[in-house]
Structure 1
């Protein structure tokens, strides 16, 4: 029989217990970053650290030093497999519904799990009107993402894409969106979470000289495009075959381009 994957959950470098996890079970004031390690290394580590740092300043008024964050990541990874998923969550020791004040915030919860490459696709996305709060921060407690995913699946789709108050596509539940006109990668001009994979792709596409631009993308605009993908920490690109009632042509060339660009990003150990 295969060995059970040795998943770990640690808080500030120590194994989490039921007692110190209990206050977090339904807490919604925390932010996180998720990454995939392959061969003990991760792409875009600088971007992950910058995300944790900036969001901590926004939430807690201060940030854990990068060197200490990396130390906690390495401690959780020590002796484990080289390929895995890792989530680092920063939360307040003061708990929720407390004023900002001087103290020892934030704490870090590091959790490891089996590696994932995401679904094979192609994916059909239900279009839903929705705008996430604090969209620039990858925070916890977003019930709408799971709600709309389940609504989409119940209606025969694979997942959901969000349409803002202007009628423009922004992102999907746990994904960034990108589009293709045959020559240029098009990013939605909308309020979105700047995903780490998206940031990696943008800088690598720049380095490759691939044209990119941001523009509003409505459901009507989709009909003139030649492809669409979703991306997150699992993968730099999965084909989207439909959004709402609009069918999209296959985007094999876009998927290949994005995977190639992502592969150009150097990987480093935490």
Structure 2
């Protein structure tokens, strides 16, 4: 049975008024990550994501010092957890969508989730998230995509445009292995923190990587593929639709090790 997360609003336990607004108004941004030994890999990137999203969606940034204080209060000394930080405002509604101001902060604390499995089989679907550069709370489309993929016998959904241009997955970014090179799709998508950390680690290691247009018709050019997000640094993809990859397990393991080499930043 799933454990209900603890919910905090602006540093205090969430109240009915706050949660009622969240249930009725689906507008906001979020970021989420694993806390390990009291630290977070890429925490500076998560904070930057929240601030950019706050300005984009509400017109004002949030104070990083206040965010960190609220995170520490919600953790209450716990060194291991999964945090989801959401930005919203009770002052913004369907009748007042032009409200501008600093958003409120909701923090969810729950046990760290299990990583996504390896050897996943993906179903390509023609779909693009609204405002793909934002990690926002409008999740109906991606949840439906995952549901449709599962009901069709796949593990998850991979998003493409009408011409087969590959962008991202339902909850993760995708990378391809071509020889000793990592190839990142060049398409509208969320620039994930795990993806960014892997790119940085590859650059420091002097490992080749590049960004390129990748379509479904290009899959035979690659030895393998992997997915990555903050809960799953690197998981090997076995197949996309009817295309089965020859395998790149060693390369994917090395990518996961590069992610784990990133330092944990204290909250």
TM-score (normalizing by structure 1): 0.94
Q: 1:42 aligns with which of 40, 43, 66?
A: 40
Equivalence map 1:87-236=2 (5 Å):
87-97=84-94, 98-103=96-101, 105-236=102-233
Does structure 2 conserve the Cα–Cα contact (< 8 Å) formed by 1:28 and 1:96? no
Does structure 2 conserve the Cα–Cα contact (< 8 Å) formed by 1:28 and 1:140? yes
- Residues 215-243 of structure 1 show CA distances to partners (whole Å, capped at 9, x for unaligned) of 11111211120010111111111111111
Equivalence map 1:18-97=2 (5 Å):
18-80=16-78, 82-97=79-94
**1:145 aligned counterpart, secondary structure:** helix
**1:235 aligned counterpart, secondary structure:** coil
Q: Alpha-carbon deviation of 1:101?
A: 4.0
Q: Give the 4+ runs in structure 1 shifted more than 4 A.
A: none
* Structure 1, unpaired ranges of 5+: none
2: CA distance, partners of 1:237 / 1:197 = 9
1: CA distance, partners of 2:140 / 2:251 = 31
Aligned to 1:253: 250
What RMSD in Å do the two structures reach over aligned CA positions? 1.5
Equivalent residue pairs, number:
265
1: CA distance, partners of 2:250 / 2:118 = 15
**1:85 aligned counterpart, secondary structure:** strand
Q: Alpha-carbon deviation of 1:257?
A: 1.8
